[in-house]
Structure 1
Amino acid sequence: MQACNRAIVARMDSPVALIPQLAAHLIAAGGKRLRPLLTLAAAHLCGYPANPAEELAARHVNLAACVEFIHTATLLHDDVVDESHLRRGLASANAVFGNKASVLVGDFLFARSFQLMTEDGSLPVMAILSQASATIAEGEVLQMATQNDLSTSMERYLQVIHGKTAALFAAACRVGAIVADRPRAEEMALDAYGTNLGMAFQLVDDALDYAADQRLLGKTVGDDFREGKITLPVLAAYDAGTEEDRVFWRRVIEESVQEPADLEHALGLIAATDAISITLRHASDYAARAQAALSIFAESEMRGLLGDVAAYTVSRAR
């Protein structure tokens, strides 16, 4: 990860001063670096690199940086679309530098990610990561299309979170098998692991927006509520609520007519209908599928650690 972080810092450099300044604002805020970590861990699970002396110069380090650039670019764009003011506990880049700069630096980071893919020279790697980039954009557009729509089905909601989150988790893991030249069965097992992990991760994030301490969450609690986003806690509370409850949800979500006390009332309805527990049960199911996908690999410390990541993803909300 230290080598990956060095690659990230080196590649976000530019003679246009605002670019490294803005990119550093978001990257310096920290975050879990989970996606690049998955690329590195998946490669190690598959026995790459075979020679430990080659570790710092191996392909997986630059591809992990590539994955982080894709993710960071989407964060910059998302915060503009969502009009978010906090990211990882600090003022978001758009709040500090403005929307125009955030969008353009996001574009720069996407371009950097494709430079890294090209330098790697593997068409399968480029196909996987470029497809993931397109799927992320589709997921975000689909989320925008379902916004404020309480008739959104569970299937549609899961399609949204697969696109906006799980696709990049899957790609981050899968390229680890590609660089190690492992059989397709192992490649697809890591794809399944990443997909299910990403689904669990986003379900937990959606639960945390209604259940977390803002200082720990790193963003404003209730952002999804204020933006009218359709997430499982809202769908579960709406489905289980009384007609009076549904009138409330239609006003605050579909009509976007919200009063200062509405968030607290929404939190009460979500608690009363056990919507957070419902969401976390779905997350637990996906985490279990992620762990099961690793069974194709021989038992090892790295396999155990990846299994622990899946368990942690759900436990962080408890």
Structure 2
Amino acid sequence: MILVTGGAGFIGANFVIDWLNAVDETVVNVDKLTYAGNLGTLRSLRGDPSHIFVREDICDRDAMDLLFEKYQPRAVVHFAAESHVDRSIRGPADFVRTNVVGTFMLLEAVRHYWQDLPASERSAFRFLHVSTDEVFGSLSPFAPPFTETNPYAPNSPYSASKASSDHLVRAWHHTYGLPTLTTHCSNNYGPYQFPEKLIPLMLTSALAGRPLPIYGDGKNVRDWVYVGDHCSAIRAVLAKGKLGESYNIGGFNEVANIDVVRALCRLLDALRPKTSGSYFEQIASVPDRPGHDRRYAIDAHKLKHELGWKPEETFETGLEKTVHWYLDHPDWVSDVSSGEYLSLVDADERISA
């Protein structure tokens, strides 16, 4: 079996669901269930013996030691992180605790478990750390995309905390020989994304008739990758990645924020037209946030050439799938928007240890 941290969050939950659909192997899913952890996303796995959910905090070293002793995983895929830039600006302490201290505690638990494995199991073990392209900082408009060798230059408390965790993972590989892999992914979008992020925020706001707030001139550029493509890339790195290496995961889709919102408005005008007017009329400019990086772009050719991975979705096809999913799942959106999903945390029958 494998152990996944943060598997009730957006990317982690998509990975768990995709894994159990694609691979005949049990997942131990460990999540603290903060505001962004949603058991409702995992409802389709209820009763599936291949999915074991454990509510624990990766900062709790004793709990992590007990999990490794009990389940004996062959690999760890580490998603658990605080990930919202705006929240990190307002309250950086949680980001340092989860992303830095939590990763340290998890690495130590993994190291002590791994060192006691039989030689054959020790050589086959993997620790895959899921990071972000934001650790590389901001690109000028015509600079080449980030490669795995770009120097780190984080500009927000979030990206600084993720950069710190990356350095810990690298050090544990070089100092202790821990068999690690690191991935740096560009902006994800797709089903089950918490509506504080750009695409689901704009979708839910548009449908509710609220303004669609765009920071500054809206020309901040991001490389977008559909979450299902991200999941398949992680499976490829876990299976075939070279130990100690990092791999960039991107969709080869650079799009300005304002163009993302315009594309959403066009789709909604076609799929869920208003009784009068257009969703474009709801677009509104708001003051830019502090330290807002101008452009991110990922060069994912290493992953493509060495491991044979490439994204299946273009931005246009992935965005249309995403819009359809949100339109088809109003109950999920309503539960998240109202906070009702938090009631699942106390439903003991949905949490197994």
Category of TM-score, reference length = shorter chain: 0.3 to 0.5
Higher percent of residues as strand: 2
Greater helix fraction, Structure 1 or Structure 2? 1
